[in-house]
Every structure is written in structure tokens, then in C-alpha cells.
Structure 1
Amino acid sequence: MLSRLTSSLPRVASALPGSFRSASTLQEVLAAQVPAKQAELLALKKEHGDKVIGQVTVDQLIGGARGIKSMLWETSNLDANEGIRFRGYTIPECQQILPTYSGVAGDGEPTLEAIFWLLLTGEVPTKAQCDSLTAELHKRAEGLPAHVVPLLKSLPKDMHPMTKFSIGLTAAQTNSVFAKKYAEGTPKSTYHEHVLEDILNVVAILPELAAVIYRDTYFDGVVSKDTSLDYSGNFARMLGYNDPAFDELMRLYLVIHTDHEGGNASAHATHLTGSTLSDPYLAYASGLQALAGPLHGLANQEVLGWIQDLQKKFAAEGKEVNKDTITEYYNASGRIGNLRYAYPNVDSHSGVLLWHYGMTQYSYYTVLFGVSRAVGALSQLYWDRALGLPLERPKSHTSAWLKDFCEKQ
């Protein structure tokens, strides 16, 4: 797995001011943070709103807005040298400081609950806070609407798993708290409270939606739970895996895929749809539609496919291969990448590891990605509403306008 740091890092909840230390539940921590964050953003806009950050080129305008700095995204940032940083922490740093299932930071992989807390609040949670969030998510999962599982089971078995996943989440929107409260005329100042309810409910039900799809598409349709485990361990049981090593893989997988800045397609689609005040169910369903695109969510499958093609080539040349040779090929390609100073994307690891543990259903990999990415995209959606971010509405130009502009320049 990824290497761990040995140094201790200071930014933990106990170092925060008293008003924050007194908050123990996720909702209390966020409620204490919101007023200060709102004031900070308002002051920043008032004092520095006219300052220029960058310059858009014709290439960027035509080329999908790549590299244009035009989004506020609190939860993560891509570092050119160290990869993704979650609230300022690299993946190895998160492995060192975030609570694990065993309760000892650095002993095992961080839990999904720990990274969820970190992304939402910017604080490193305690094990007790993670355990409380585990219990809350298990409880909220019981609220999956009764019509959703029969609907999923009624779909054709050969329908793509991501299509089923999007249908299932959209069907569960009947439980949206925000949609109901908005229809009742709730004030804008309370939007984030109702959005948080939806976010927690969406994250809670996604494992069951994903597991029903997996078991019904590829196996006998039976889904068994074990809520004595954490979010990831219970998800592994629902998928049909009963191996503590696979539980650890699932913790690692779900953590490292949660967030990847705001400009990626699934995160941006969630943000854009949410900016219209669509509730989190519909907003993240948009994110899933974007994630289903081959240029986004297919990355780990394509890495695995490339390595398997290499494996076949070597086999054709008479070189001995076995099931784990694929992992050896991955390790070799990673060393080559490091020699070229290429920092590997998380998708370069995940497909190979899933294959190693026996999950060979390629088409399902993106559903796992979808369970994870909800945590990052929806954590930011909470702050979109808490900070009152507006409807996203960029300006566009026609090619005729662009040609005329360039000729005049």
C-alpha cells in the first residue's frame, strides 16, 4: 500500500478554540463553523473582489476550460508534486493521523467516516466522533425508501451498473428533506441545515444501492449486512466479501477516491446542478451521470486493461504468468513512472487491487467510485449552500465572435 509518515501532525480538534472543542456531533461542529466562514468569504469578496487571478486563452476557451481558475472548492486541492491534498493533508498524512477501524491512527487504513468528517469540517476527528458518525450512517441507511430496491431488481440484468445506480439514487429523492423544506418556504439562511440532512442520508444509502446492483447483476441478489462494522466493512459484507484484508482495501479505495478538486466532471456536475438548488439526491445523480462517462470514471478499468494486455503479450512470448503477475506488472510500471517523476493518479492503483482480491467485474468498478466520490462532492455542496454560493452561469461565445475577436487582436 502507500507509504506512511512517521512525523506527528498538529492540526487536531483538541487544538481548536473552546467553542469548537465543545461541539461533539458533526452537525454541531458545522453549525459552529458556518457564521465565521460566511463572514470570512463576505469580507474577502468585499475587499478583494476586483483582483484578477488569471487570464483565459483561446486554447482554454475551446479546450473545455481546462486549467481555468474559476471555482471555489474547500475540500481538496491537487498538488503538482504530492498529488491530492484533502483539506491540506496528503494521502500518506491522512493515513498517519486519521482514525482507523482499530482506533489507532496509522494502524490500518483511515475509515470513510474519518475522511468524511475531515472534508466537511476541516478538522481531524477523534475515534469517538467517527464511531458516532458510523452509528448515524447505519441508522440513516434504514430510511432507504421501500420502492427503491424492487425498482432496481426490476431492471434488466444487462443494463449497465452505473445506469442502475443513477436510477436508484434518483428514485430515492422522494425522501429529500431539502426539497420538502424549500417547498414550504424555508429561509435561505437554513438551506445548509436541510442540505446536510440529505447529504448524510445519500451517503448512508449508497452502499446498499451499490450492493443490490452488484449482487443482483452478477450473483444471487442476496445482500447481507453487518452493522457492527464500520461503513466500509459493512459495505464489503453487502458485496459478499468476508475478508478483513478486503475490508482494508475498501477503506483505502473509498478514502482515496472521495475528492479530486472541483473541476473534475463528477464533482463539477454535482456543484453545477446543486447551484440551481436541486437537492443533493438530484445533484449527485448528475455527478454519477458524469462519472459514467468513459473519459472520467473508466480510468482504473483502462489502466487494468493495459496491464492485462501487457500480461497477454508476455504470455505469448512464453514467459510464466499467474494471477498475481498483474500486480507485479503494475509495480514495475509504477517504478518506471517514478523514474520519470510522474506522480501516479489513484486510478492507477485501484483497478489492479480490486482484481487482486477477486472483483473482476470491470463494468462495476465505476459504481464503487461513485460511492466514494459522493463524500467529496457532497461535502463541498454543503459549503456551497452554507456560504450562499450563487447559480453557476459562465459566459459563452460563438466561434464567429471568437474569430472576429482574434482577427482584431
Structure 2
Amino acid sequence: MFTSVDVTTLSNRTNCSSLSPAIPSSGDLDVRITAAMLDTGLRGVPVGTCTTSFITPEQGLHYRGYPIADLVNHTPEQLMHLVFMGSLGSPSEVDGFSQVLANRAGLSATVKMQISNLPRHIHPMSAFAAAIRFCQWEYPTGDYHKDALNLLAKAPELAATVIRRHKGCEPLSNAEAENRSMGYVERFCELLVGSEACTTQFVEAVKIFHKLHYDHGGGNLSMFVAKAVASGHSDLYGSVIAGMEALAGPLHGRANQEGLTFVQDILEKLGAAATPKQVREEVQRRFDNKEKIVGFGHAVLRCEDPRASILYDYAANHFPENPLVKMALMLRTEAPKVVCKKASNPYANVDAISGTVLAAAGFSHAEYFTILFGLSRLVGMTRQIVYERCEARDGKGVPIYRPKYVYKEG
């Protein structure tokens, strides 16, 4: 049982073979690199191993061998334990892990002051990255395990404080900030909007969003960048900052923000009484004009993203009369009929609906969606950095990343 702040057991809990038979084979890794594969962003090129998650074309995301669709009813703390420790854990183990985080939570007056001095005109993700830098200065240990837990523990207050500063809200009171008796996501929500505005509906929506974004294989851009920086023996904080800057791009973490904007634009143009035929025709018009159909298609999946399916079901059950939800549900059925003319997978991915769910639940500030994404993705990112630095290759760690580039006369 994880009953203290000792983190040495982390490195002994990565074997997930007993959790589920759904562990993919590495297959034939005798890959032949051809000229056609150059300048394609390493897409599909094997470069390493990942112990926390994988994606299959048919079932999508798996945490430690479990399909995400089988995990939706577990608590955030159970899934954090699964990703971080390698098992869903007994109630006492999960409680012990949660207590470890609670013991390490809280921000110093120095860090709070530094955040309060951040300019409000910068992008929220730049502010979030800066706040992680402040933690690097304030709480360095030089130990990847300890730094991972420290950052994960402080992240809810860190993210909430950054958003409140950026929005121009009053700083949190000491009493609010020091209350660590609630769950991980509940604490973030209350720190973000205050106890009076923190509705059950809002908390539940953020919980689902949070659980679906912990990890997504080892090769997505933010994860790859963070681990590449760590391979040069940068500390955990500096590596995560690089990963968060990668996540901030519109082709990656900011896609959920663009997904909501896409739904809003079509709703504004067609109106709440739009028919499926009108929606399909509008998508077709945009498609013909080579405009991006945000939230549809996926590089790996050959079905609707199971994370999207979970959120669509949640939205339909909890916000059936919300105009944004109605439009998103129509896009779910109509957009693939257009996108299929070009994409091998025309179905919805998680970005098609995640922003709409947050907006329907009362948090319509799309500019902060990527911080919520980053808060969740810290779970997998910190754990994967620990693996590559401390556990891979029998504890020797992954060498510094050094892919080969071929000279091209330009």
C-alpha cells in the first residue's frame, strides 16, 4: 500500500501483463525506411516503448491494457493510480496514492506572487508553462520520481490559479487553497470557480474530460517532445514545459478549442432549427472550399473515437436540449458522410465533442480548454518521463534522442 511519500515503489509497478489480455504485440520491427517516409513527422516509425497506454484501430485508447470504454465509470483517482502505478489498485492503495498527492499539494506564496505578476495578454498555455517554470525554481529535487509526484500534486491549484489570473478574477483565499480534503478533480473545480458556482454538473463533466485525456500512447507530439527533452537529462519540470508548449498548438491540444468554435460557427449560421440535411450541406460547402472539418478523422483509428462516443452519450443524456449539443450530435452523423470522400476514417474524434460538453456544463471559456487538457495529460506525461529516464533498458534509461536527417540540397 502506498502509505507514505516514499516513491521508490513506482519503478516496481510497471508490469501490466496481469491486468488484461489486450496487450498488443510489437510485431515485426524490421522496418525499412524509404525516401517516401522522410519529412513525414516520423509518422508510424517505431522509436521506443510505452508502458502506460496504447491505441488500436478498433478499440482506440487503452490504459495499461484496459480499453477506455471499460474505464469510464472508474474514479479519476483509480485511473491515475492505474496509469501511474500499473494497476487499478485496491481502495486502500488508491486512497494511499491520493494521500501522497494531498500531502504534496499547495503552492508557496512565492509561486502565487509570480503567477499574479504574469501579463494577462499572453496565451493561457504560455502562462501555464510559465507557472510550471516557477515550480521548477521553487521545488527542485533532481529526482524524476519525486518531481513527478510534486508537480502532479500541485497541478490543480496551479492550473486554477493561472486561469483565474488570466481572467482577472480575485486570487483564491488561503482557506480555499488549503482545503485538500476533496478529490483531485473536485478540488480543481472548486479552486477554479469557487464553492458556490461549483455545481455537480460541472464537476462531473470535468471528471469525464479529465479521465479521457490522461495518456494517449508514447508518440503524440507533446509526449514525444517532453521525452526528447528529458533524454538530454533536463529535469522533469523543464521537460514538461516543452511538452506543454507542444500541446498548445492548434493541431494538437488546442484542437478541442477549435472543435467548439466549429460547432458554434455552424450553429450561428444555420440556427437552432437546422435540419440534418442543412448541416450536411454546410459541411459539404466547407469541405469543397478546403476548409478544415474540425474533429473528424484520426491517424490511427478506423472507427469513431471511443472517447468521443463516451462524451456524445454523456451530452445526449445530460444536456439533450442544449443547442450546441444538438448541433454536435447532428454533426456526428452528417459530417462523416462528407469526410468519407477523402479520409479513411471520417468519424468523430474526441475534439469534436469535448469542448461542447464543457460549454454545456457551464464552462464556455474555450481559451482555457487546453489548460484543462494539459492538467489531465500531466498524469501520463510525467509517468512516461519517469519510465524513460529511470526504468527503460533495465534502469539505464533511454539514450539522448538523435534521429538521422538526410541532407537535401535546397
- TM-score bracket relative to the smaller structure: 0.7 to 0.9
**1:54-65 equivalent positions in 2, closer than 5 A:** 54-65=31-42
Match of 1:332 among 317, 323, 330: 330
Q: Which residue of 2 aligns with 1:382?
A: 386
Q: Which residue of 1 aligns with 2:164?
A: 215
Whether contact under 8 Å (1:116, 1:379) holds in the other structure is no
**1:96-111 equivalent positions in 2, closer than 5 A:** 96=73, 98=74, 110-111=75-76
**1:310-329 equivalent positions in 2, closer than 5 A:** 310-315=266-271, 324-329=322-327
1:138, 1:316 → 2: CA distance?
Answer: 45
Q: Which residue of 2 aligns with 1:358?
A: 362
- The Cα of 1:135 is off from its aligned counterpart by 2.2
Whether contact under 8 Å (1:87, 1:122) holds in the other structure is yes
1:367, 1:209 → 2: CA distance?
Answer: 10
Can you list the C-alpha shifts for 1:344-379, whole angstroms capped at 9, x where unaligned? 322222101111122122211111111111111111
Whether contact under 8 Å (2:131, 2:162) holds in the other structure is no
Match of 2:115 among 140, 145, 152: 152
- The Cα of 1:162 is off from its aligned counterpart by 0.9
Unpaired runs of at least 5, structure 2: 17-27, 276-319
Can you list the C-alpha shifts for 1:365-404, whole angstroms capped at 9, x where unaligned? 111111111111111111112222221111111113xx9x
- The Cα of 1:262 is off from its aligned counterpart by 1.5
Whether contact under 8 Å (1:117, 1:123) holds in the other structure is yes
Match of 1:298 among 254, 260, 267: 254
| CA RMSD, 1 decimal | 2.7
Q: Which residue of 2 aligns with 1:7?
A: none
- Alignment pair present for 1:268 and 2:224: yes
Whether contact under 8 Å (2:202, 2:363) holds in the other structure is no
**1:108-119 equivalent positions in 2, closer than 5 A:** 110-111=75-76, 113-119=77-83
Q: Give the 3 Å change call, closer, same or farther, for CA 33–160 of structure 1 in structure 2.
A: closer
Whether contact under 8 Å (1:300, 1:347) holds in the other structure is yes
1:303, 1:57 → 2: CA distance?
Answer: 35
- The Cα of 1:315 is off from its aligned counterpart by 2.2
- Alignment pair present for 1:367 and 2:371: yes
**1:10-409 equivalent positions in 2, closer than 5 A:** 27=7, 29-33=9-13, 52-96=29-73, 98=74, 110-111=75-76, 113-142=77-106, 144-179=107-142, 194-223=143-172, 224-225=176-177, 226-240=179-193, 241-315=197-271, 324-336=322-334, 342=346, 344-384=348-388, 385-387=390-392, 388-400=397-409
2:71, 2:273 → 1: CA distance?
Answer: 42
The normalised TM-score by structure 1 is: 0.75
- Identify the structure with the greater helix proportion: 1
Describe the SS at the equivalent of 2:55. Answer: strand
Can you list the C-alpha shifts for 1:312-361, whole angstroms capped at 9, x where unaligned? 12129888xx9811101112222346776755322222101111122122
- The Cα of 1:146 is off from its aligned counterpart by 3.1
1:131, 1:282 → 2: CA distance?
Answer: 29
Describe the SS at the equivalent of 1:62. Answer: coil
Whether contact under 8 Å (2:111, 2:138) holds in the other structure is no
Whether contact under 8 Å (2:202, 2:362) holds in the other structure is no
Unpaired runs of at least 5, structure 1: 1-21, 38-50, 99-109, 180-193, 404-409
- The Cα of 1:236 is off from its aligned counterpart by 0.4
Amino acid at match of 1:392: Y
Whether contact under 8 Å (2:13, 2:86) holds in the other structure is no
Can you list the C-alpha shifts for 1:8-63, whole angstroms capped at 9, x where unaligned? xxxxxxxxxxxxxx7777836434447x89xxxxxxxxxxxxx7432223232112
Describe the SS at the equivalent of 1:282. Answer: helix
State the identity %.
29
Aligned residues, how many?
Answer: 337
Can you list the C-alpha shifts for 1:239-276, whole angstroms capped at 9, x where unaligned? 11411222121211111111111111111111111111
Q: Which residue of 2 aligns with 1:43?
A: none
2:227, 2:364 → 1: CA distance?
Answer: 32
Whether contact under 8 Å (2:29, 2:46) holds in the other structure is no
1:372, 1:218 → 2: CA distance?
Answer: 21
Whether contact under 8 Å (2:61, 2:67) holds in the other structure is yes
Whether contact under 8 Å (1:53, 1:69) holds in the other structure is no
Whether contact under 8 Å (2:53, 2:61) holds in the other structure is yes
2:347, 2:53 → 1: CA distance?
Answer: 17
Amino acid at match of 1:123: S
1:66, 1:141 → 2: CA distance?
Answer: 38
Whether contact under 8 Å (1:304, 1:352) holds in the other structure is yes
1:63, 1:164 → 2: CA distance?
Answer: 31
Farther off after superposition, 357-366 or 343-352: 343-352
1:135, 1:242 → 2: CA distance?
Answer: 23
2:336, 2:184 → 1: CA distance?
Answer: 33
Whether contact under 8 Å (1:83, 1:343) holds in the other structure is no
Q: Give the 3 Å change call, closer, same or farther, for CA 164–87 of structure 1 in structure 2.
A: same
2:245, 2:165 → 1: CA distance?
Answer: 21
Whether contact under 8 Å (1:76, 1:84) holds in the other structure is yes
Amino acid at match of 1:386: E
2:404, 2:210 → 1: CA distance?
Answer: 35
Whether contact under 8 Å (1:270, 1:377) holds in the other structure is yes
Describe the SS at the equivalent of 1:78. Answer: strand
